[in-house]
Amino acid sequence: MRTSNRAWAEINLAHLKHNLFELMRALPSRCSVMAVVKANAYGHGGIEVAKFLNEIGVIHFAVASIEEAIELRRHGVQGEILILGYTSPDRADDLFSYQLTQTIVSADYGRALDERGRKIKVHVKIDTGMHRLGESHRNTDEILSCFNPIHLRVNGTYSHLSVSDSLDREKVAFTTMQLAQFNAVIDRIRSEGLNPGNVHIQSSYGILNYPDIAFDLARPGIALYGLLSNEEDRVVTQAKLQPVLSLRATVSQVSDVPAHHPVGYGHKFIPSQDVRIATVSIGYADGIPKNLADNGGYVLIRGQRANMTGSICMDQFMVDVTSIEEVRQGDTVTIIGQDGTETITAGLIAKQCGTVTNEIVSRIGSRVERVYVS
């Protein structure tokens, strides 16, 4: 696929649908999916991804901020949109007007939001050991107070597993403890005659490693987009996930550089022999990690590998195409994805840069056109 843009991400909606159904297949039949589309759907395009998922039956979504939620609602996304993060009580009117669902991050926060007098839908967050957001599972009275507001409408209760990505004995024991603490809270809520609403705790690895948890919702993020945070992670459920995103750019110039002539900022690459250099029209302002060139980074051109050379610039970088015949201006460059028999994964780039795939795909910038294919 070619576009007129300098750089583009191809988003395969058929793969997205496939991943959704693979994850649903792993879950108990009564459990529905709450699709996590925060951070522009992990770089895949939040509006388009959410609207497509809406069309194929998803009615629960999760985002990080009220701005993300309002953007989805303004573009016609239907169903529940849960804001996972903090929203100032001063935004109560927006929460109400756009029919958004806010996380109660603590009992004090719940009271402050309730005082605004708006009938806002909320989910109560329980901290079972992540120590990030939520009322501690130990604070039973405070938790119960969240279920007796005057104006708020509680329709969910949830927590977050902090080490469900690991199958190490100690991490499994910690996850088991989190589940036990969460279940104890849910049981206490119900024993008081209160309704916890939709109960949920699993994100991607919670689904893949603990698929038998029988709650109402599960919140896939990175797995929905066909990825694991680390490609080498072992998981219990062998879901056949398919990467949704490919990242491509264009060769903007091809130059012959004599031996001993430096290439790029800082003269980090000085060839010992004559080389042919291609400039690629994407850079760190578009989400390419600046340290990728220093850690074995390469791209695919005409189905062959071309090593990055010198420093990655804000808007472009250079690669060595000396061994690739007939590279010319306008050729497609694959940064993530397949070209011929060669493939570069987001996981490989993450490993080279010492991070996780979540960061690699979610940092892809707004200057990169999203092209949706099915």
132 is in an annotated binding site: yes
3-state secondary structure the chain: CCCCCCEEEEEEHHHHHHHHHHHHHHCCCCCEEEEECHHHHHCCCHHHHHHHHHHCCCCEEEECCHHHHHHHHHCCCCCEEEECCCCCHHHHHHHHHCCCEEEECCHHHHHHHHCCCCCCEEEEEEECCCCCCCEECCCHHHHHHCCCCCCCEEEEEECCCCCCCCCCHHHHHHHHHHHHHHHHHHHHHHHCCCCCCEEECCCHHHHHHCCCCCCCEECCCHHHHCCCCCCCCCCCCCCCCCCCEEEEEEEEEEEEECCCCCECHHHCECCCCCEEEEEECCCHHHCCCCCCHHHCCEEEECCEEEEEECCCCCCCEEEECCCCCCCCCCCEEEEEEEECCEEECHHHHHHHHCCCHHHHHHCCCCCCEEEEEC
Instruction: Decide if 268 is catalytic.
Output: no
**Among residues 17, 98, 205, 265, which one is catalytic?**
265
CB-based contacts of 31, cutoff 8 Å, min separation 6:
213, 214, 215, 216, 217, 218
Cβ–Cβ under 8 Å, residues 367 and 285: yes
Cβ–Cβ under 8 Å, residues 299 and 334: yes
- The position carrying tokens 């109660």 is 104
**Among residues 38, 121, 125, 351, which one is catalytic?**
38
Instruction: Decide if 225 is catalytic.
Output: no
CB atoms within 10 A of CB 23: 24
Q: Which residues are catalytic?
A: 38, 265
- Which residues make up each annotated binding site? 132, 314
Annotated binding site for substrate: 132, 314
